[in-house]
Amino acid sequence: MLAKSTAVFLVFVLNGVVFGSWAARVPALAAQVGATPAGLGLSLFGVSVGLIVAAPISGRLCAAFGSRAVMVLGAVTGFVVLPVLGLTTSPLQLGLALFALGLTVGTLDVSMNIAAVTVTRLLDRPLMPVFHAGFSVGGLVGSLVAVFSAAVQWSPLRQFSILAVLGVATVALIALIAGQRFSRSAQTPVASAAAPDLSAPATQSGGSAPPDISQMSPEERASRLYDRVMALSERGRQDSVRFFAPMAMQAYLMLGALNADQRYDLGRIAAVSGEETVARAQADTILAQQPKHLLGLLLAADAAKLRGDQAAAQRYLHRFATAAPTEKARQLPEYVEHVNEIDSRLAQVGSR
């Protein structure tokens, strides 16, 4: 998850670079196409039109293909369109090129914000200001590049061509590093990804097909996906766990405000799929509200093991064993729901 948040931050930076680099060269572009003030104003209007047109289209694209794919598409095409600005010879051509740039930047805006919201909710931390600060940093970098280019008398075409090559290469590197873990399924509503294998470990008696999770309530859908991921984990099918875990985590994010039981489920899905940061964030939130919560302590211990901190894991398990007698007496709904797991972990702690 750390790699994902860093990747999203860098995309915000790149978006700012695209914007800052061309906006600072408007005077040079106006001179290049011989635009009057009125003609230049109409040309610049193309960016706004492109942004408006892109907003609803990019939302549908993210729902269909996932924000990761749309982010990559928007970032690459944004850099590719930049040199086109340097090739324009009339205000009309400049306006059309800026319209295309508005489309790409608008698509990137929507997709990167969807990705940012997903990462923020998974980590349960206020990261949105950090991401948007990245856009400001990128805008500053792009403006400084434009200032340098003007100072050494580079044409807009030369500046934008160099930026395009460097930008596309950077996007490719980010996509490669982020890898497949920032998958489409993490961003796509679970209902659209419904399949028989998601809904139950096996078909019901009589050969009838398992229920379609797209017809379930959001809570039922999340719970069913949690059961599926846990069953796959118990059978050691980690490839399937990694495939279904993003869908399951997204299902919980779609529920809105989460209670302790739902946070534990989300954290457990993250833990079995190797997302230590998400598991730790959910455990921290549970324990901040209820320091002796048994499921929060178990989740914190699992997260500590994932990051290789065995001492911290033992401390959490000791707190778990100490709090268990009084906490179990509370008969919280989540304790009843996970009673077998609690008892099993108590037995493991007691046998050491």
Q: What is the pLDDT at residue 200?
A: 42
Q: What is the pLDDT at residue 181?
A: 47
Which among 53, 52, 134, 43 is positioned nearest to 96, based on CA atoms? Answer: 43
Task: Give the mean pLDDT of 83-109.
Answer: 94
Rounded Cα gap, residues 213 and 79, in angstroms = 40
Task: Give the mean pLDDT of 109-115.
Answer: 88
* Residue range 190-200+213-350 in CATH 1.25.40.10: yes
Among the listed ranges 128-137, 177-186, 194-203, which one has the minimum average pLDDT value? 194-203
pLDDT: is 238 or 95 the higher one?
Answer: 95
Rounded Cα gap, residues 344 and 331, in angstroms = 17
For 2-184, give the CATH class.
Answer: mainly alpha
259 conformational bin, left if phi > 0, alpha if psi -120 to 50, beta if neither:
beta
Task: Let me know: does 62 contact 110? Beta carbons within 8 Å.
Answer: yes
pLDDT above 80 (res 234): yes
Task: Let me know: does 18 contact 140? Beta carbons within 8 Å.
Answer: no
Banded pLDDT at 257 (limits 50, 70, 90): confident
Banded pLDDT at 5 (limits 50, 70, 90): confident
How far, CA to CA in Å, does 209 sit from each of 206, 218, 219, 222, 232? 9, 20, 21, 19, 19
Task: Give the mean pLDDT of 135-149.
Answer: 93
Q: What percent of the chain has pLDDT over 90?
A: 48
161-193: pLDDT as tens digits: 999 999 999 999 888 876 544 444 444 333 333
Query: Average per-residue pLDDT in the chain?
Result: 84
Q: Which segment, 51-60, 107-116, 151-160, is predicted with the most confidence on average?
A: 151-160
Task: Let me know: does 44 contact 26? Beta carbons within 8 Å.
Answer: yes
Q: What is the pLDDT at residue 193?
A: 37
**SS3 string of 11-60?**
HHHHHHHHHHHHHCCHHHHHHHHCCCHHHHHHHHHHHHHHHHHHHHHHHH
pLDDT above 80 (res 128): yes
Q: What is the pLDDT at residue 245?
A: 85
Task: Let me know: does 242 contact 185? Beta carbons within 8 Å.
Answer: no
Which among 165, 152, 119, 149 is positioned nearest to 21, based on CA atoms? Answer: 149
Which among 189, 295, 345 is positioned nearest to 252, based on CA atoms? Answer: 189
List the chain domain ranges: 2-184, 190-200+213-350
Q: What is the pLDDT at residue 208?
A: 42
Give CB contacts under 8 A, 24+ apart, made by 118-121. Answer: 118/67, 118/186, 118/187, 118/250, 118/253, 119/1, 119/4, 119/5, 119/8, 121/253
34-92: pLDDT as tens digits: 999 999 999 999 999 999 999 888 888 887 787 888 899 999 999 999 999 999 999 99
Per the structure block, which two tokens stand in for 102?
């508005």
Q: What is the pLDDT at residue 352?
A: 61
Q: In whole angstroms, what separates CA 270 from the centre of its chain? A: 14
Q: What is the pLDDT at residue 3?
A: 66
Task: Give the mean pLDDT of 89-105.
Answer: 94
302-313: pLDDT as tens digits: 999 988 999 999
Radius of gyration of the chain (CA): 25
Rounded Cα gap, residues 209 and 196, in angstroms = 7
Q: What is the pLDDT at residue 304?
A: 92
